[in-house]
Every structure is written in structure tokens, then in C-alpha cells.
Amino acid sequence: MLTSKYSVAALASFVVLMTGTYAASAEDLKIGPNGEALSVEASPALTEKLPADLKGGTLKIVTDPSVPPYTFYQADGSTLTGSDVDLGNAIAAKLGVKVEWSTVKFPGIIAAIEAGRFDMAITSMGDTPAREQKVDFVDYSTDGNAIVVLKGNPLGIKTIADLCGKSTAVLQGSVMQGLVEKQNEKCAGNPINIQVFPDINQALLQVRTQRADATMYQYGVAAYIIKTSPDAANLEVLAFEQYGSGYNAMPFKKTSTALRDAVQAALTELKADGSYGKILTAWGMEANGLDTFTVNDGLRFNQPSN
């Protein structure tokens, strides 16, 4: 399994974690694993684009803290950190609002956004055509997915086709689940034993304890976990091929178009002033950056999902 800070995340279903206060003119933020300083200047013009109830108010952002380096807990087991957290804080600072972070397990996030429990989410969620039927997305970075196996790859898995006839653990409702299910349709009488879990840590545990032959997850996340968590040291991410590359995107309720557009504009300004690049670089994710932030562009990659 993973270290204790990730185990806490696996057990959390809904926890209000922290509230940050950001001044309307400027705010000094801390980004990256080393807490580098970042100063973000608020934009009064963007504040004016916000819905009336958010001007001078609090932006409620939800995430799943089990996907380092995007979002995870610090060693205290209660404070959020990661590139998505830094980016969410910078967006709030640019919009001149406070921010309140909460956590929900990944499979429940879209339903929580639809129900209006939160204003938006940042949780390395893929923008897919299926999900666009329920929520709107602002696309903010990219990532690909890779197969994770026991260290040394004892079964000699080379491609997703090699999962046929094997047991594969996947995250419920994820693009990776869609990719494995799509491959399963091609397995011709040698089906994949698909094991579905609500938390990626549980899926990784199945591989680590040899109750599953493989799992699939975002390459950057899997590589980070294996590199930094002693409990995942017996795992290996197969880097020679990635699948289902696509956007990481922030979901919004379909009726929240004003907020969606304000966040898109805030990202554009953060890109222009260098803050966006500094955040990605601080986490070693600069290769995942975008030049333009699109809305509901999931068809470009057409990833499968639930």
C-alpha cells in the first residue's frame, strides 16, 4: 500500500480541509513540494465576471486527495498539497476570492458538482464526451495513462492487449476503466477479470499483494507514487507505451457558465504572467502544460469514460 498520508485519503469520503484567504490586490502563495513563493495579482475585471454571490465570497473547490502529485495530503494527514491545489489557490487569488477546499472520492465528484454542493473541482479529471453530457469542463493540462505491474514485470506485459486473460484493477468511473473495458471487447473469449475500486490506492494494493496482475493509471501519478512511497516500491510503471492521452479538466455545473468562463479567463492570465508555468514546473509537470485553455474540447481526444 502507500504511506500513511495516502492511506488517510483512501479512507476519507467527505472532509472540509482548509480555507485560504486571498486579498483582492495581491497574494503571496506557496507552491511546489518546497513551498516556493508565488505572487498572484488579483484582476478586478475578472472579479466582475463572477456571479454576484461569489464576488468577495468563497469559491468552493472539491478534489480527491489520492492522486499525487496533483492532489494529496501533506505528512500531517489533513493539509492538501499538489499541483492542482496550487493551481486552484492561484485561480482564487486571480479572481480575488477566498477558497474552501473539500474532498470527495473520485466516483462521487461529478454528482456533487451537479447537485451544487461545490462550485468546481480540480482533481486531474479527464474531459470526455460522456462526462460533458453532465457537466461543463475547462481544460487545463494533459496526461496519458500507463499500465502498472509488479516490479520486474514477471508476466511480461507489454501492451494493453496483454491484459486479456489477466486480472486488472481499475478506478471506478475513470478513463482507465473505460480503456480496459474497451480492450476487453477485443479479447475474443479470453476476457479480462476487471476489478473496480473507488480509490486508486486500493487498485494499487491489489497489484502489490498479487490479487491483481496489473492496474492502469495516469502515468505521471503512478510514477510519482512509485518514486516517493516506500510501500509502492515493489511496483513498476510501464513507460514504453501510454494510452488514452487527453485533457485534465475542471468540471462545473451546466448552469455555472459565468464562473466557468471567469476561471478560463483566470487561467489565461495566469499563463500570461508566468504563474501557470511556475506551478507546473515546481511539480515537474511542465510537459503537461497547455498553450490555450479550452471549454468542452473532450472530443479532440475522445477518451472513454463512465
pLDDT digits (tens, 9 = 90+) for 277-305: 999 999 988 878 999 999 999 999 999 88
CA angle in degrees (0–180, nearest 5) for 91-13-8:
90
Place of cell 473539500: 102
Residue range 118-161, pLDDT digits in tens: 999 999 999 999 999 999 999 999 999 999 999 999 999 999 99
Which DSSP state fits 292?
A: S
Q: What is the C-alpha separation between 171 and 227, in angstroms, rounded?
A: 20
User: What separation, in Å, do the N-terminal and C-terminal C-alpha atoms of the chain show?
Assistant: 26
pTM as predicted: 0.83
What domains appear along the chain, each with residue ranges and CATH number?
4-142+247-299 (3.40.190.10), 144-244 (3.40.190.10)
State residue 287's pLDDT score: 79
